[in-house]
C-alpha cells in the first residue's frame, strides 16, 4: 500500500484537492483579516455560487469555467450588498452578534435552497469532467489540475491587489487601524463591503472550478467550510500565502493520512495538525494579517 507507485499519485491528488480548499479559504481569510468576522455563512455562499454555476450550465449551456465571468462579479455584488445591508447594518455591538448574524444568514440560505431546489444532489457532466492528464508519475484529473493552477493565479492576483493598488492599501489600512483609516478620509464602511465582496467573489471562482469535479446540494457548504476554517487558522488568519500553503498542506495530509491510517481515520490527521498549530503557533504559519 505504501509503494511509491501509490504514494506519489496520492500526494499529487492531495495537492490538487488542497488547491480547492485554498481557493475556498482565500475569501474567508480576507474577510477575517479586514473585518475580523468569522463568517459562518461562507459555506452557504459557496453553495449558492455552486447552484449559480449549475443553473448557468443546465439552463443556458454556459461552461463552468466561462461562468466565472458571471459568478465572480455576481459574488462580489452579493457580498458587497450583504455586508452593507445586513452584516454592517446590524454589526454595532459585540462580536458575538456578528457571529449570530452570519450563522443566521447561513441557515436562511440553506433552507431557501432546500425550498427552491429540493434536497436533491445535482451534478454536471462536462466533456472534460473525466479527462486525465498523464504526468509521468501519475494520471491526474484535468479539472483538478486546472483548480491547482487557478489557486496559484488567484492567490497571486489577490496578493498583487492588496500590495500594489490604492484599494489594497486602503484595505490594509482598515485592517490594521480602522479608526485611523477613517481619520485620513478612507470610507471604512465601503472598504469593509469591498473586502466582503472580494471574499465572496473568490467563492464564485471556487464554485466554477469545483463543480466539474464535485456536486451541489443545499448542504454542500458544510462539506468544505470546516476544512476552510482549518486552512485559515493553519495558514494564519488574514494571510493569502498562508491560505494557499495551508490548503495544500491540509490536502496532502488528508490524502497521505487517509492512505496510511485509513480513509476515515485520515480525517483526524487534519484536526491533529489544527490542534498542534493552536498549541505551538497560535498565529498560524504565516501569522501576520494580509501578508
Partner 1 sequence: MKPGSQPTRRTVLKTATAGAALGTLGFPGLLRAQAASIKIGVLHPVSGIFSYSGTQSRAGALMAIEEINAAGGIKSLGGAKLEPLLADAQSKPDVGAAEVERLNEAGVAAIVGPYASAIAIATTQAAARHNLPHVVDVGTADQVVTRGLTNTFRFSPGVSTIVNFGIDSLVRINDAAGKPAKTVFIVHEESAFGTNTAKVLNEELPKQGFQVLETVKHANPTRDFSNIVLRIQAAKPDLLIPANYYDEYVLLTRTLQQQRVAVKGVYSILGGGASSYKFVKEFPDAAAYVMDCNHWFDPRKAAALALKAKTEKQGLFFSYEVFLNYNAVMYLADALERAKSVEHDALNASLASSTWDKHILPYGPTKFVNGQNTGARPAITQVLDRDIKVIYPNEFSSGNVVFPVPPRKT
Binding interface with partner 1 (CB under 8 A) = 1, 3, 5-6, 9-10, 13, 17, 111, 114, 118-121, 123, 125, 129-130, 132, 139, 141, 214-215, 217-219, 223-224, 227, 255, 258-259, 262-264, 267
| Cell numbers at 57, concatenated | 450550465
Strands 139-141 and 132-134: antiparallel
Cα–Cα dist 236/178, whole Å: 20
User: Which CB, 115 or 281, lies closer to partner 1?
Assistant: 115
Rounded to the nearest whole angstrom, what is the least distance from the CB of residue 105 to partner 1 in the complex? 17
Cβ burial 93-120 (10 Å sphere, 16+ → b, else e)? eeeeebeebbeebbeebbeebeeebeee
Cα–Cα dist 267/257, whole Å: 7
User: Which CB, 114 or 167, lies closer to partner 1?
Assistant: 114
User: Which CB, 56 or 98, lies closer to partner 1?
Assistant: 56
Contacts of 285 (CB under 8 A, 6+ apart): 234, 235, 236, 239, 242, 245, 246, 277
Reported as type and span, the H/E element at residue 133 is strand 132-134
Cα–Cα dist 291/283, whole Å: 13
User: Which CB, 34 or 109, lies closer to partner 1?
Assistant: 109
| Cell numbers at 211, concatenated | 463543480
Rounded to the nearest whole angstrom, what is the least distance from the CB of residue 10 to partner 1 in the complex? 5
Query: Facing residues of 122 across strands?
Result: 216
User: Which CB, 10 or 193, lies closer to partner 1?
Assistant: 10
Rounded to the nearest whole angstrom, what is the least distance from the CB of residue 159 to partner 1 in the complex? 26
User: Which CB, 17 or 158, lies closer to partner 1?
Assistant: 17
Rounded to the nearest whole angstrom, what is the least distance from the CB of residue 158 to partner 1 in the complex? 23
Of 121, 116, 147, 120, the residue nearest 133 (C-alpha): 147
Rounded to the nearest whole angstrom, what is the least distance from the CB of residue 103 to partner 1 in the complex? 16
Rounded to the nearest whole angstrom, what is the least distance from the CB of residue 219 to partner 1 in the complex? 6
Amino acid at each position: 500500500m505504501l509503494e511509491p507507485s501509490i504514494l506519489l499519485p496520492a500526494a499529487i491528488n492531495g495537492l490538487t484537492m488542497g488547491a480547492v480548499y485554498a481557493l475556498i479559504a482565500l475569501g474567508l481569510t480576507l474577510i477575517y483579516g479586514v473585518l475580523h468576522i468569522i463568517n459562518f455563512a461562507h459555506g452557504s455562499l459557496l453553495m449558492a455560487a455552486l447552484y449559480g454555476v449549475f443553473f448557468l450550465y443546465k439552463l443556458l449551456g454556459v461552461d463552468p469555467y466561462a461562468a466565472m465571468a458571471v459568478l465572480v462579479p455576481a459574488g462580489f455584488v452579493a457580498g458587497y450588498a450583504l455586508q452593507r445591508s445586513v452584516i454592517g447594518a446590524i454589526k454595532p455591538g459585540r462580536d458575538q452578534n456578528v457571529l449570530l448574524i452570519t450563522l443566521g444568514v447561513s441557515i436562511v440560505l440553506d433552507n431557501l435552497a432546500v425550498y427552491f431546489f429540493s434536497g436533491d444532489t445535482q451534478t454536471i457532466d462536462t466533456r472534460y469532467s473525466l479527462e486525465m492528464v498523464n504526468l509521468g508519475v501519475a494520471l491526474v484529473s484535468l479539472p483538478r489540475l486546472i483548480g491547482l493552477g487557478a489557486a496559484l493565479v488567484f492567490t497571486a492576483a489577490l496578493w498583487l491587489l492588496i500590495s500594489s493598488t490604492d484599494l489594497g492599501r486602503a484595505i490594509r489600512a482598515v485592517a490594521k487601524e480602522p479608526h485611523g483609516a477613517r481619520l485620513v478620509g478612507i470610507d471604512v464602511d465601503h472598504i469593509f463591503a469591498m473586502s466582503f465582496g472580494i471574499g465572496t467573489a473568490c467563492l464564485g471562482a471556487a464554485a466554477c472550478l469545483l463543480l466539474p469535479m464535485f456536486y451541489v446540494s443545499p448542504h454542500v457548504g458544510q462539506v468544505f467550510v470546516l476544512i476552510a476554517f482549518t486552512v485559515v487558522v493553519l495558514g494564519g488568519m488574514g494571510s493569502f500565502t498562508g491560505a494557499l500553503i495551508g490548503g495544500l498542506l491540509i490536502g496532502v495530509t488528508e490524502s497521505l493520512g487517509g492512505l496510511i491510517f485509513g480513509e476515515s481515520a485520515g480525517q483526524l490527521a487534519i484536526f491533529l495538525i489544527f490542534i498542534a498549530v493552536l498549541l505551538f503557533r497560535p498565529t498560524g504559519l504565516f501569522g501576520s494579517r494580509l501578508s
